[in-house]
Copies of this chain bind each other. A is one copy, B any other.
Amino acid sequence: MLTKSLPGAGPQGRVYNFNAGPGVLPVTVLEKVQAELLNYGSTGMSVMEMSHRSAAFEGILSNADADLRALLGISADYAVGFLQGGATLQFAMAPMNLRPAGASADYIVSGTWGSAAYKEAGKLGLARAAWSGKAGSFSSLPAAGELDLDPQAAYLHLTTNETIHGLEWQSFPTPPAGVPLLADMSSDFVSRPVDINQFALIYAGAQKNLGPAGVTVVILRRDLLERVPANLPLMLDYKVMVEHNSLYNTPPAFTLYVVGQVLSWLRGLGGLSVMAQRNQAKAAVVYQTIDQSGGFYRGHAAPAARSRMNLTFRLPTEDLERAFAKQAEAEGLVGLKGHRSVGGLRASLYNAFPPEGAAALGEFMREFQRTQG
């Protein structure tokens, strides 16, 4: 049960946490982690103190793997890895592992994160922008016909959800025949059903929908392993990851355990279709408030590209934006300030964010407009 959580109102004084990541986690998961913190199962120790070669930890890891595969329908054609270093390390690992020497890779540059992936790939070899939303202030995503695709590309890379600009793909483009599709799914991973088979590589930092920061999930179609060159650093080599089942060295074991608890919570709630409906409904409350505000609130994203995870909007003036964030925080709505690079407001409504919190934000927005508009 999600606690009513204005400060002091809930039993634990928790707030509505709109942080863009690390973000809110399910209260039931936190309570379980808390209960088991000094003694997991009958092991007599915390998961933090446990050998990563122990039967108990192997169980934690294999359950996380099985739950993730069940939630997303991941077949045996794909390896699942749990790495470190965030999406930013994947920005380098993807081209280092999957772009043959001399080959070029295509990138869809849809916002801050698509740009960062493109830039890192270009630093390490040949990369090409198949589309860029920069001229449009990253407020929309391309239609299929707008993409300039290289049929010889080593792969096509996209960002399923732009956390900072608040854009989310509703369906994914089809690359030219033989060109694998790669995706950074960090900020909308496991928030909706996705046909994994469209992708050759998916990666996602955990700290949005999946758990605490410090774990990166990698889902790799096994035939891509043929591309991995010799002599990569061990921790940057997808072959090492797959051959050692993410246990070449000590993994971030406790963080992985919390990720496993979140995956189990997701399955218990009914899986990704249920979660997608819930996320859609939460976002609709806020977008509706924006659309019915007569222009007082202005959404950054074009309606067709609106993210259900990160809802970005502006007010008539920056002074009003500051006042909005400050007053909201005083009422227990925390983390609404937009990213420093783009300004404005941003409400992140990840899986664990409670529907009551979205309703509370809508109410606050209407009241703020009534009194300050």
A354: min CB distance to chain B, Å: 13
Bin chain A's interface residue count: 35 or more
Are B30 and A46 in touch, CB under 8 angstroms? Answer: yes
**A75 at the binding interface (Cβ < 8 Å):** no
Which segment of A233-241, A283-291, A307-315 sits at the interface?
A: A233-241
- Of chain B, the residue at the smallest CB distance from A253 is B213
**A251 at the binding interface (Cβ < 8 Å):** yes
- Of chain B, the residue at the smallest CB distance from A248 is B88
**How many copies of the shown chain assemble into the complex?**
2
- Of chain B, the residue at the smallest CB distance from A123 is B231
Q: How far is the CA of A261 from the CA of B274 in the complex (A)?
A: 39
Q: How far is the CA of A263 from the CA of B14 in the complex (A)?
A: 27
Q: Which secondary structure characterizes the binding site on chain A?
A: loop
Q: Restricting to A339-355, which residues have a CB under 8 Å from any CB of B?
A: 340
- Of chain B, the residue at the smallest CB distance from A30 is B38
**A360 at the binding interface (Cβ < 8 Å):** no
CB contacts (< 8 Å) of A22 on chain B: these are: 48-52, 250, 253
**A196 at the binding interface (Cβ < 8 Å):** no
> Contact flags (1/0) for A170-214 with B, using CB distance below 8 Å?
000000000000000000000000000000000001010001111
- 19 further A-B contacts with Cβ under 8 Å, apart from A22-B50, A214-B254, are A13-B42, A17-B45, A17-B49, A19-B50, A20-B51, A21-B250, A22-B51, A22-B52, A24-B45, A31-B38, A34-B37, A48-B211, A84-B85, A88-B248, A92-B236, A213-B251, A214-B255, A233-B236, A252-B255
